[in-house]
Amino acid sequence: MSIITEQDITKNVIKNISFPSNEVMLDLKDLKKVYPTPKGDYVVLEHLNLQIKKEEFVTIIGHSGCGKTTMLSMIAGLNPISGGNISVLGKPIKGPGPDRGVIFQAPSLMPWMTSLQNVLLGVNQVFPHATKAQRNDIAKYYLQKVGLEDAFDKKASELSQGMQQRVGIARAFAIKPKVLLLDEPFGMLDSLTRGELQDILIEIWNKEKITAVMITHDVDEAIFLADRVVMMTSGPRAKIGDVLDINFERPRTRKSVLEHDDYYTYRKHLIDFLEH
């Protein structure tokens, strides 16, 4: 097994465009979602407006059933839009596509494939012109990044839930999406594993700076990871209730965040919102 360095990847395969920008990456305009029911239409989301800048990490919190996941799957293109529009870099989205990578709540790996094959499934699709060796290198690089350098050839069904979600993270980053959508990716994990995976996620995100939208129930997770926390009102007709800027410098460590003076102010703000 050859060790792949970061330079190899950035030099050979991926042109890493990184400049600070105020460019809007993801734009939700007057978004609406309606489910028709026998008793009339049920409006899940209405008048939802949100702009997410390039290289921004946004977390979304709100009560269960408020439509967070609906919103995310609409951005992913997996759920049709009832009104308004969603655009990525000014272009309206058309169905799902690899420009919007998704990390699902369940790891959703193909259990009959090895972790490497699972990552390659996406890489092969996104880099069809790269050589086989290059694609292998990309997949292995990201698996190394999530700490799975010893599990390339393990079947996904043999991995623990936490390890599977690591492969899920590697798979999502390896396809170099413009936007990364995370739907409560750590919701099913125990708190210890959750902490580990948050660290891995933030570490790899610091390098890649992929615009990210993440749904979470966990207030601490929301603050630790985000540049902005978006609070959604309870459904029906959910919309953005409040937005909180998190002004911690990056790269962050868990310790520095917890010891920061503003941490409890932020935390109180979020909890107050959720309790009202």
Partner 1 sequence: MKASLTLGKVTNFIGLGFFTTLKDLFTGKLEKEELKSFLRKTIVPLASILLFIGLWHLGAKSLYNIEADFKIEKALEDQGQAAADALKACIASGDSSCQPNTLPSPSQVWDSFQSLLRDHNIISADKAAFAEKTAALNAKRIAEGKDAITYTGRPSFVDQIFRSLQTVFAGFLLALLIAVPLGIFIGLSPTLKSAFNWFIQIFKPVSPVVWYLLVFMIVKTLLIDSSEDSSFTISFISVGLCSMWATLVNTAMGVSTVDKDYINVAKVLKLGTFQKIFKVVLPSSLPLIFTGLKITLSVAWMVLIAIELLAQSPGLGLFVWEEFQNGANDSNAKIIVAMFVIGIIGFLLDRLMLTIQNWVSFDKTDAI
Q: Residue 254 Cβ, how far from partner 1 at the closest point, in Å?
A: 30
Show the binding pattern over residues 168-197: x = contacts partner 1 (CB under 8 A), - = does not.
-------x----------------------
Q: Is 125 in the site for partner 1 (CB under 8 A)?
A: yes
- C-alpha distances in Å from residue 178, one per residue of 88, 212, 228: 8, 9, 18
Applying CB under 8 A, among 24, 34, 89, 106 the residue interacting with partner 1 is 106
Helix/strand/coil for 98: coil
Q: Residue 188 Cβ, how far from partner 1 at the closest point, in Å?
A: 12
Applying CB under 8 A, among 62, 67, 122, 162 the residue interacting with partner 1 is 122
- C-alpha distances in Å from residue 105, one per residue of 167, 184, 185: 13, 5, 4
The values of phi and psi at residue 95, to 5°, are 70, -175
Instruction: Answer yes or no: are the C-beta atoms of 86 and 74 closer than 8 Å.
Output: yes
Residues 195-234 that bind partner 1 (CB under 8 A): none
Kindly provide the residue ranges of all beta strands, DSSP E only, lying in the chain, ordered along the sequence.
24-37, 40-53, 57-61, 83-88, 91-92, 100-103, 179-183, 211-215, 228-232, 240-245
Q: Is 96 in the site for partner 1 (CB under 8 A)?
A: yes
Distance CA 266, CA 68 (A): 21
- C-alpha distances in Å from residue 49, one per residue of 26, 43, 78, 88, 241: 11, 16, 19, 14, 11
Q: Residue 204 Cβ, how far from partner 1 at the closest point, in Å?
A: 19
Applying CB under 8 A, among 110, 243, 258, 271 the residue interacting with partner 1 is 110
Specify the stretch interacting with partner 1 by CB under 8 A; choose among 71-79, 159-167, 213-221, 245-253: 71-79
Instruction: Answer yes or no: are the C-beta atoms of 240 and 50 closer than 8 Å.
Output: yes
Instruction: Answer yes or no: are the C-beta atoms of 71 and 52 closer than 8 Å.
Output: no
Kindly provide the residue ranges of all beta strands, DSSP E only, lying in 135-261, ordered along the sequence.
179-183, 211-215, 228-232, 240-245
Q: Which lies closer to partner 1 via its Cβ, residue 90 or residue 95?
A: 95
Helix/strand/coil for 158: helix
Q: Is 108 in the site for partner 1 (CB under 8 A)?
A: yes
Q: Which lies closer to partner 1 via its Cβ, residue 39 or residue 132?
A: 132
Helix/strand/coil for 103: strand
Polymer length of the chain:
276
Q: Which lies closer to partner 1 via its Cβ, residue 170 or residue 270?
A: 170
Q: Is 102 in the site for partner 1 (CB under 8 A)?
A: yes
Q: Which lies closer to partner 1 via its Cβ, residue 20 or residue 95?
A: 95
Q: Is 157 in the site for partner 1 (CB under 8 A)?
A: yes
Specify the stretch interacting with partner 1 by CB under 8 A; choose among 3-11, 100-108, 137-145, 184-192: 100-108
Count of residues in contact with partner 1, rule CB under 8 A:
24
Q: Is 100 in the site for partner 1 (CB under 8 A)?
A: yes
Write out the residues near partner 1 by the rule CB under 8 A.
Answer: 76-78, 95-98, 100-102, 104, 106, 108, 110-113, 121-122, 125-126, 155, 157, 175
